[in-house]
Chains A and B, each alone.
Chain A
Amino acid sequence: MIHSPYIRKPASVQQVMFTVLLALVPGIAAYVWQVGAGILVNLAIATTVALAAEALMLRLRKRPVMLSLGDLSAVVTAWLVVLCFPTIVPWWVTTLAVLVAIVGAKHLYGGLGQNPFNPAMVAYCTMIVAYPALMSQWPPAGQLDFATQLDLILGGARNLDAITGATALDALRTGLRVGEADVATLLQQKAFGALGGRGWEWVAGGYLVGGLFLLARGVITWHMPTAFIVALATIAGLFWLVHPEQFASPLFHLASGGAMLAAFFIVTDPISGATTPRGKLLFAAGVAIIAYLIRNFGAYPEGIAFAVLLMNMCVPLIDMKTQPRVFGHREEKP
């Protein structure tokens, strides 16, 4: 027997996921425009692998395959994996990464809704630890035509030094570490654009547009993006104000690497993130601060993935300690 309420809002998980995919489109479009269409090949590969892996796992776990496959959550994971990876990463790296995300980080923990870690970030961290070289070959914006990209993805000869360059974050980091110049000089290099990496500012802008769309549609709340951006800007601003020649500006940090993707699409993953309003603020701010520290003082040029996983571990504690006041309860619950 069905009990009240007898009416439901016409909403579904599928709609939520579809909205997220739709919101990623501006970023992807900017990607194609600035970097090349290779990303589309990787997206296709990842989507196929993700759906196949999802179907297989659902079958093995004796779950309704079509129902869960239709929720599009696997596609979202696949797209996020691809968008975190260098565009020209070989097809088998993408495949492996998606398998890690779907089979390992998602289904081995109990499927949709049960994973304590962000699957895309698990995949990213696994791959950057396993294949550091392949994972740091980023094509410079507008340098490679589609044929070359396709060749690299599908496994041609990889004469990499000629065609790949350091990302903005990487160039800055390496330059500073070698000690040859200060930030201002380094930013004159061709890897850098007006704000972040050359051409990559557009991609970041695309994510920002998509993120605002998600906010408008109520898929995400303001807490996470705001806390992430404010915290990253604050910590970057503090270091920058003290040592402008040693540390890049807050704007550079926001426009570089995966900052915008993270602010609207990665930290906002509801399943592995904090859920209470104050918890969301803490979680996203924590990711931003750890990411900044890794970018500047760690072993990797980009630290968001590790920061997300570290904060994922803190989620149960954060949620427990930030339970909102219940209606009518005057004193805060400890």
Chain B
Amino acid sequence: MIARLFGFHGGIKPDAHKNESAGSPIRPAPIPSRLVVPLRQSTRATSECLVVPGQKVLKGERIGAPEGVLGTAVHAPTSGTVLEVVEHHMPHPSGLDTLSVVIEPDGEERWIEHGPFDWKERSRDEALAHLRDCGIVGLGGATFPSHIKLGTGTGIEVLILNGAECEPWITCDDRLMRERAADILTGAQILRELIGAPRLVVGIEDNKPEAIAAMRTAAEAMGTGIEVVPIPALYPAGGEKQLIRVLTGIEIPYGRLGGEFGVQCFNVGTAHAVYRAMSFGEPLVSRVLTLTGNVDQPGNYEVLIGTPIEDLLPLAGPRRADTDRIIMGGPMMGFALPALDVPVVKATNCLISASQKLFPTPPPEQACIRCGACARACPAELQPFELYWHSRAKNFGKAQEYNLFDCIECGCCAYVCPSHIPLVDYFRFSKSEIWSREREKNAADQARERFEFRNWRQEREKEEKAAKLAAKAAETRAKLAEQPAAGEGAAAAAPAAEEDPKKALIAAALARAKAQKAASEPKNTDGLSAETQAEIAEIDRRRQALGLAEGAEPAPDAAPAAPAAPDDKPAASTRDA
């Protein structure tokens, strides 16, 4: 089937550097001496720790339970012993820590009991829950939970399988497609049925002819009308929205999901993980990644999640002297690792050893000459130089007006800028400022709301009190008017009440208090046996003798009504004893 291709605006063609590692088949990386599995695998949700230090775990055993709507489970990548559950650096530009389970592998790779999940027999919800419990997230780098993406699946026309891999250097998806095309397509078919999409289109950049051929062969063997479409190698063609645009012509705006437009997109690695989860019941405990850059033996490895990156790097040969940092992801959107003891996570698709020769520090920033090269390169069709201008001036409102948040941070603008302006950094800065201001504003709004509510409540209570008082006063007045000479106190209060209802109220309240006081004699001295009363009298006598009870009358039946004097305590405890 010949599909019509659409273009997207802008894009760039940096040197692909795929040849370094594309020829190297996927090999399993050795099991490291220690695995550090972060409980936060998806950036949007953490999972709840299910293990304790010292506990033995099996390969695939769940160590983190999904938390929240966007949560997915986390599993032990191999069998071994949990050493500790600690805060550990995670591979994130911030270098922040996250709760991680440290496992010492026993090297036996003993699996939990697992078997195929019969998704055809079970309900769709059960299948999605199975994917969540297998920890399946998008392996293209964003680690969005796959079951959520599938969950929007009504009215999906096209399921797109993303095999574009447009970032330079990365070849893990290329290798996966070359070597496990049938598995990927089996996984994709499962996704397709779960999402209910009539069409399944695989988009692969045309600089991967072997992958295209392998996928085509597998698709023909399956014979279910899967379209394998080569697309022009133009970064960022692998961006989800760009790929959807190229293959279907549909443009998905910022903040909207493909599902709303009848199209959904999954990475080929994700489809492979879905296949393993459904056909074997295997949770996601490893992934394929590329080791490349300034190394002697670039290659692709199947790596256990949690493998420390410093253990992995020697696989590509000894570290060269001029390697100055390790970049996770591609050179366009990746980031330099803050430390090398960080583990491989589900998002780790590539580790590039960087050197000044490969990735030189850009020359100093010069003035923007408004040449518009950035605008011509921007796949989101923004005007980056305008955004830069407003970001620089900290005019964030204006930056938002120019659709700052439509920026996908692909880096095309910074790549082409002749003035070497790190445009993306300006946009990241603006976005984070806007977010933090938004948070501050929300916090302030909440504080104000709380304050206003408190004021309103106090006001209401005051009004209620006043209303109550007024009602009471009216009642009292009516009562007084009915029985002008009821009792001694009331008789005294009656003339005053006629003059001043307030005074009458006070008098009434006093009377009530008096009655209450009389009624509220300590209950524990009521109805006691003569023996006990004698005992109490004896205690009181002793206390008086000691001068403890001040001004207390010796009469035992008129013991002080309010006992709260601290002096009472020893006496009370004596009594209890």
Interface residues of A, Cβ cutoff 8 Å to B: 1-9, 11-13, 15-16, 64, 67-68, 71, 73, 111-114, 219, 221, 270-271, 275-276, 319, 323-330
B524: Cβ under 8 A from any A Cβ: no
Interface centre among B15, B241, B336 (most CB of A within 10 A): B336
Tell me which residues across on chain B come within 8 A of A15, comparing CB atoms: 418
- The B interface, classified by DSSP as helix, strand, loop or mixed, is loop
Please give me the 4 A-B residue pairs with the lowest Cβ-Cβ distance, nearest first. A328-B253, A5-B411, A113-B367, A6-B359
Q: Are A67 and B364 in contact (CB under 8 A)?
A: yes
Residue-wise interface mask of B (394-436) relative to A, using a CB-CB cutoff of 8 A (1 in contact, 0 not): 0000000011001000010011111110101100100000000
Q: Are A276 and B383 in contact (CB under 8 A)?
A: yes
Question: Can you name the residue of chain A whose Cβ is closest to the Cβ of B327?
Answer: A6
CB distance from B237 to the nearest CB of A (A): 14
User: Contact check: which of A221, A326, A330 meets B382 at CB < 8 Å?
Assistant: A326
Tell me which residues across on chain B come within 8 A of A73, comparing CB atoms: 369
Tell me which residues across on chain B come within 8 A of A113, comparing CB atoms: 367-370, 419
Q: Are A68 and B380 in contact (CB under 8 A)?
A: no
Tell me which residues across on chain A come within 8 A of B266, comparing CB atoms: none
Tell me which residues across on chain A come within 8 A of B380, comparing CB atoms: 326-328
22 A-B pairs whose Cβ atoms sit less than 8 Å apart in the complex = A1-B336, A2-B362, A3-B425, A3-B428, A4-B332, A4-B333, A4-B334, A5-B331, A5-B332, A7-B168, A9-B415, A13-B367, A16-B371, A73-B369, A112-B367, A113-B370, A270-B370, A275-B383, A323-B402, A326-B403, A327-B8, A328-B406
Q: Are A13 and B366 in contact (CB under 8 A)?
A: yes
B232: Cβ under 8 A from any A Cβ: no
> Known interface pairs A3-B425, A4-B332, A4-B334. Does A221 touch B367 (Cβ–Cβ under 8 Å)?
no
User: What CA separation (Å) do A86 and B335 show in the bound complex?
Assistant: 56
Interface centre among A68, A324, A328 (most CB of B within 10 A): A328
Interface centre among A1, A2, A219 (most CB of B within 10 A): A2
Interface centre among B359, B376, B424 (most CB of A within 10 A): B359
B275: Cβ under 8 A from any A Cβ: no
Tell me which residues across on chain A come within 8 A of B554, comparing CB atoms: none
User: Contact check: which of A12, A68, A328 meets B256 at CB < 8 Å?
Assistant: A328
User: What CA separation (Å) do A187 and B85 show in the bound complex?
Assistant: 93
B144: Cβ under 8 A from any A Cβ: no
Contacting residues of chain B (484-531) with chain A, CB-CB under 8 angstroms: none
Q: Are B416 and A4 in contact (CB under 8 A)?
A: no
Q: Are B381 and A4 in contact (CB under 8 A)?
A: no
Interface residues of B, Cβ cutoff 8 Å to A: 8-9, 12, 14-15, 93, 168, 241, 245, 251-254, 256, 327, 329, 331-336, 354, 359, 361-364, 366-373, 375-376, 379-383, 385-386, 402-403, 406, 411, 414-420, 422, 424-425, 428
Tell me which residues across on chain B come within 8 A of A329, comparing CB atoms: 253, 403, 406
Tell me which residues across on chain A come within 8 A of B420, comparing CB atoms: 8, 12
> Known interface pairs A4-B424, A9-B14, A113-B370. Does A327 touch B253 (Cβ–Cβ under 8 Å)?
yes
Q: Are A271 and B369 in contact (CB under 8 A)?
A: yes
Q: Are A324 and B381 in contact (CB under 8 A)?
A: yes
CB distance from B204 to the nearest CB of A (A): 22
User: Contact check: which of B15, B245, B418 meets A12 at CB < 8 Å?
Assistant: B418
Tell me which residues across on chain A come within 8 A of B367, comparing CB atoms: 13, 68, 111-114
Tell me which residues across on chain B come within 8 A of A270, comparing CB atoms: 369-372
User: What CA separation (Å) do A12 and B419 show in the bound complex?
Assistant: 6
Tell me which residues across on chain A come within 8 A of B9, comparing CB atoms: 327
Q: Are A16 and B254 in contact (CB under 8 A)?
A: no
User: Contact check: which of A7, A68, A326 meets B415 at CB < 8 Å?
Assistant: A7
Q: Are A11 and B373 in contact (CB under 8 A)?
A: yes
CB distance from A255 to the nearest CB of B (A): 29
Q: Are B373 and A328 in contact (CB under 8 A)?
A: no
Q: Are B364 and A64 in contact (CB under 8 A)?
A: yes
Tell me which residues across on chain A come within 8 A of B406, comparing CB atoms: 326-329
> Known interface pairs A9-B416, A13-B419. Does A112 touch B332 (Cβ–Cβ under 8 Å)?
no
Q: Are B385 and A326 in contact (CB under 8 A)?
A: no
Tell me which residues across on chain B come within 8 A of A219, comparing CB atoms: 371
Q: Are A326 and B359 in contact (CB under 8 A)?
A: no
Interface centre among B329, B367, B382, B420 (most CB of A within 10 A): B367
Tell me which residues across on chain A come within 8 A of B375, comparing CB atoms: 275-276
Q: Are B422 and A3 in contact (CB under 8 A)?
A: yes
> Known interface pairs A6-B327, A6-B354, A326-B403. Does A11 touch B416 (Cβ–Cβ under 8 Å)?
yes
CB distance from A207 to the nearest CB of B (A): 20
User: What CA separation (Å) do A114 and B393 show in the bound complex?
Assistant: 13
Tell me which residues across on chain B come within 8 A of A323, comparing CB atoms: 383, 402
User: What CA separation (Å) do A327 and B241 show in the bound complex?
Assistant: 9
Q: Are A328 and B364 in contact (CB under 8 A)?
A: no
User: Contact check: which of A5, A16, A319 meets B414 at CB < 8 Å?
Assistant: A5
Tell me which residues across on chain A come within 8 A of B402, comparing CB atoms: 323
User: What CA separation (Å) do A9 and B332 show in the bound complex?
Assistant: 12
Question: Can you name the residue of chain A whose Cβ is closest to the Cβ of B378?
Answer: A327
> Known interface pairs A2-B336, A6-B334, A221-B372. Does A327 touch B379 (Cβ–Cβ under 8 Å)?
yes
Question: Can you name the residue of chain A whose Cβ is closest to the Cβ of B360?
Answer: A8
Question: Can you name the residue of chain B whose Cβ is closest to the Cβ of A223?
Answer: B372
Q: Are A271 and B366 in contact (CB under 8 A)?
A: no
User: What CA separation (Å) do A166 and B308 show in the bound complex?
Assistant: 81
CB distance from B372 to the nearest CB of A (A): 5
Question: Can you name the residue of chain A whose Cβ is closest to the Cβ of B331?
Answer: A6
Tell me which residues across on chain B come within 8 A of A2, comparing CB atoms: 336, 361-362, 422
Q: Are A271 and B381 in contact (CB under 8 A)?
A: no
Tell me which residues across on chain B come within 8 A of A67, comparing CB atoms: 364, 366
User: What CA separation (Å) do A201 and B333 show in the bound complex?
Assistant: 51
Q: Are A5 and B333 in contact (CB under 8 A)?
A: yes
User: What CA separation (Å) do A324 and B375 show in the bound complex?
Assistant: 10
Tell me which residues across on chain B come within 8 A of A111, comparing CB atoms: 367
> Known interface pairs A3-B422, A11-B416. Does A325 touch B381 (Cβ–Cβ under 8 Å)?
yes
Tell me which residues across on chain A come within 8 A of B327, comparing CB atoms: 4, 6
Question: Can you name the residue of chain A whose Cβ is closest to the Cβ of B375?
Answer: A275
Question: Can you name the residue of chain A whose Cβ is closest to the Cβ of B255?
Answer: A328
CB distance from B95 to the nearest CB of A (A): 10
User: What CA separation (Å) do A327 and B252 show in the bound complex?
Assistant: 8
Tell me which residues across on chain A come within 8 A of B245, comparing CB atoms: 327
User: What CA separation (Å) do A16 and B416 show in the bound complex?
Assistant: 12
CB distance from B377 to the nearest CB of A (A): 9
Question: Can you name the residue of chain B whose Cβ is closest to the Cβ of A5?
Answer: B411
User: What CA separation (Å) do A111 and B368 show in the bound complex?
Assistant: 10
CB distance from B71 to the nearest CB of A (A): 28
Question: Can you name the residue of chain B whose Cβ is closest to the Cβ of A325?
Answer: B381
Interface centre among A67, A219, A270 (most CB of B within 10 A): A270
User: What CA separation (Å) do A221 and B425 show in the bound complex?
Assistant: 27
Tell me which residues across on chain B come within 8 A of A7, comparing CB atoms: 14-15, 168, 331-332, 359, 415
Tell me which residues across on chain A come within 8 A of B336, comparing CB atoms: 1-2
Q: Are B369 and A16 in contact (CB under 8 A)?
A: yes
Question: Can you name the residue of chain A whose Cβ is closest to the Cβ of B332?
Answer: A5
Q: Are B362 and A8 in contact (CB under 8 A)?
A: yes
Q: Are A4 and B364 in contact (CB under 8 A)?
A: no
User: What CA separation (Å) do A329 and B10 show in the bound complex?
Assistant: 16
User: What CA separation (Å) do A170 and B174 show in the bound complex?
Assistant: 68
> Known interface pairs A113-B369, A270-B370, A327-B253. Does A12 touch B383 (Cβ–Cβ under 8 Å)?
no
Q: Are B366 and A71 in contact (CB under 8 A)?
A: yes
Q: Are A8 and B414 in contact (CB under 8 A)?
A: yes
User: What CA separation (Å) do A170 and B251 show in the bound complex?
Assistant: 54
User: What CA separation (Å) do A327 and B412 show in the bound complex?
Assistant: 15
Task: Identify 10 new A-B residue pairs, CB closer than 8 A, beyond the known A16-B418, A71-B366, A327-B406.
Answer: A3-B93, A7-B332, A64-B364, A68-B367, A112-B366, A270-B370, A270-B371, A275-B375, A275-B386, A327-B381
CB distance from B256 to the nearest CB of A (A): 7
User: Contact check: which of A3, A221, A319, A328 meets B254 at CB < 8 Å?
Assistant: A328
